[in-house]
């Protein structure tokens, strides 16, 4: 099956929030949940029973008494249900399974050739999820096998390094992904697995994973993913904001001041991705006669203090900062965090930070956090898992 849109849980003390409080240790009993949510004990008990019946919560014994009957402790099951997650990149994919609290159970990184096309790439990655869960990747051409392993899998979240129309799961005009335009990824996956599948842009999933991991207490945030390509995800009022069609946060084709303005894959010139992405840095260095084959080589040159590579990284940081200054002035987030492989490039980060402070209104940056995404290589699969968990819990 596919998901057009995960059900929304807008009420304080809704099932997703109750589960999150238990998962983070903020609550260990119904009484704790009632205190945190402000809901009556009977309402909390009803919602907890629904989560227990779906296998999303479990009772683990009696807790400490505070003058009355000892409360029954609650926990998120760790030995049973899991969600699958795929974070697809241009050259590698991170694949994993996570428990219902969002903790990684298993994960591995696999090489991919995005030019092999969506059927081959997604088919192989779905089979890998099946293997991690414990099914038979040869069964049904990669479909989840029968038995307890299949029952344990509650859904799969997939991040795509290109624009995704979230309501349909269809990929729309991606850069550097030949053969993927118009591909209905959600329908393809639905034919191969018997669990819910959510397909979204990889920057959105990085934003969700980073926010839930490090800044869940904040309401407004912007997360930039800077690697071979460049994009961002937006958190508004504590929720992932996609906009009308799913393209909110796509800064890659915003125009920056550049002379000369390099051509972009979208047909325009001077787009942020054509100036500041990892692919753009590779192209620019080759144009200066530097023999470099990929982003890894660029980062190595910068780490070694290469003058040309460092100058280009600073220029890229200024370009990113120019676009983010518009975003920060307009949206007024509490945090701007950069992830992806270029996040460890200090000259780029310093230049981006300086440009933000220079171009933004003082009120917008007065308490603004500007930092690296600290969640590590699993941030994308963590976001994918939380997207699935939110849907499963809301459905319960």
Q: What is the mean pLDDT of the chain?
A: 88
pLDDT at 1 over 70: no
The two beta strands, 221-226 and 335-339, are parallel
SS3 content of the chain, % helix, strand, coil (to 5): 40, 20, 35
Distances (CA, A) of 11 to 8, 15, 29, 39, 44: 9, 9, 20, 11, 13
Q: What does the pLDDT read at residue 55?
A: 80
Residue pair 254/368 in contact (Cβ under 8 Å)? The answer is: no
Q: What does the pLDDT read at residue 25?
A: 79
In the numeric block, which tokens belong to residue 167?
Answer: 């309501």
pLDDT at 277 over 70: yes
pLDDT band at 242 (very low <50, low <70, confident <90, very high): very high
Q: Which of 7-11, 122-126, 299-303 is predicted least confidently? A: 7-11
The two beta strands, 197-201 and 164-165, are unpaired
129/135 Cα distance (integer angstroms): 9
Distances (CA, A) of 174 to 177, 180, 199, 223, 235: 6, 7, 14, 20, 23
pLDDT band at 281 (very low <50, low <70, confident <90, very high): very high
pLDDT band at 336 (very low <50, low <70, confident <90, very high): very high
pLDDT at 198 over 60: yes
Where is pLDDT greater, at 224 or 51? 224
Cross-sheet strand order for the sheet of 369-372: 239-241, 230-236, 221-226, 335-339, 369-372
The pTM of this model reads: 0.86
286/280 Cα distance (integer angstroms): 10
As a whole number, mean pLDDT of residues 226-241 equals 94
Q: What does the pLDDT read at residue 146?
A: 43
As a whole number, mean pLDDT of residues 47-70 equals 76
Q: Give the highest mean pLDDT range of 75-84, 366-375, 385-394.
A: 366-375
User: pLDDT tens across 59-84, in order?
Assistant: 887 656 555 566 789 988 766 688 99
Residue pair 321/356 in contact (Cβ under 8 Å)? The answer is: yes
As a whole number, mean pLDDT of residues 319-325 equals 97
Closest CA to 18 of 5, 4, 31: 31
Q: What does the pLDDT read at residue 13?
A: 72
Alpha helices in 97-201 (DSSP H): 118-133, 148-152, 185-190
pLDDT band at 226 (very low <50, low <70, confident <90, very high): very high
Burial of 52 (0-12, 13-18, 19+ CB in 10 A): middle
Closest CA to 237 of 251, 216, 209: 216
As a whole number, mean pLDDT of residues 226-253 equals 94
pLDDT at 139 over 50: no
Where is pLDDT greater, at 143 or 183? 183
Residue pair 299/341 in contact (Cβ under 8 Å)? The answer is: yes
Q: What does the pLDDT read at residue 257?
A: 86
Residue pair 190/4 in contact (Cβ under 8 Å)? The answer is: no
pLDDT at 364 over 90: yes
Q: Which of 65-79, 121-135, 297-311 is predicted least confidently? A: 65-79
pLDDT band at 9 (very low <50, low <70, confident <90, very high): very low
User: pLDDT tens across 146-182, in order?
Assistant: 445 556 899 999 999 999 998 899 999 998 899 999 9
């Amino acid at each position: 099956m596919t998901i057009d849109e995960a059900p929304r849980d807008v009420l304080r003390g809704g099932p997703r929030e109750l589960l999150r409080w238990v998962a983070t240790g903020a609550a260990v009993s119904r009484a704790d949940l009632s205190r945190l949510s402000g809901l009556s004990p009977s309402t909390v008990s009803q919602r907890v029973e629904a989560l227990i019946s779906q296998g999303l919560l479990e009772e683990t014994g009696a807790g400490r008494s505070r003058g009355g009957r000892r409360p029954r402790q609650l926990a998120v099951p760790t030995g049973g249900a899991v969600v699958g997650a795929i974070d697809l990149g241009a050259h590698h994919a991170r694949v994993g399974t996570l428990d219902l609290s969002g903790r990684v159970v298993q994960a591995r990184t696999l090489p991919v050739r995005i030019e092999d096309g969506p059927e081959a790439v997604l088919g192989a990655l779905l089979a890998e999820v099946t293997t991690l869960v414990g099914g038979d990747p040869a069964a049904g051409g990669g479909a989840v096998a029968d038995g307890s392993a299949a029952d344990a899998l509650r859904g799969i979240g997939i991040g795509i390094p290109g624009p995704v129309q979230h309501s349909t799961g269809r990929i729309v005009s991606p850069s550097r992904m030949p053969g993927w335009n118009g591909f209905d990824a959600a329908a393809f996956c639905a034919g191969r697995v018997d669990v819910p599948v959510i397909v979204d842009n990889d920057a959105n999933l990085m934003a969700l994973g980073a926010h839930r991991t490090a800044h869940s207490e904040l309401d407004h945030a912007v997360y930039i993913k800077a690697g071979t390509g460049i994009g961002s995800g937006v958190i508004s009022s504590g929720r992932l904001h996609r906009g009308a069609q799913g393209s909110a946060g796509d800064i890659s084709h915003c125009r920056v001041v550049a002379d000369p303005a390099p051509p972009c894959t979208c047909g325009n010139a001077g787009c942020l991705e054509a100036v500041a992405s990892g692919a753009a840095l590779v192209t620019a260095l080759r144009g200066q006669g530097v023999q470099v084959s990929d982003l890894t080589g660029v980062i190595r040159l910068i780490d070694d203090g290469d003058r040309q590579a460092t100058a280009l990284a600073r220029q890229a940081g200024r370009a990113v900062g120019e676009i983010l200054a518009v975003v920060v002035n307009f949206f007024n987030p509490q945090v701007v965090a950069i992830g992806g492989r270029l996040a460890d490039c200090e000259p780029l980060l310093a230049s981006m930070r300086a440009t933000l402070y220079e171009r933004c209104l003082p009120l917008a940056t007065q308490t603004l956090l500007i930092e690296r995404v600290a969640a590590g290589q699993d941030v994308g699969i963590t976001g994918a898992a939380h997207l699935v968990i939110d849907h499963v819990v809301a459905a319960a």
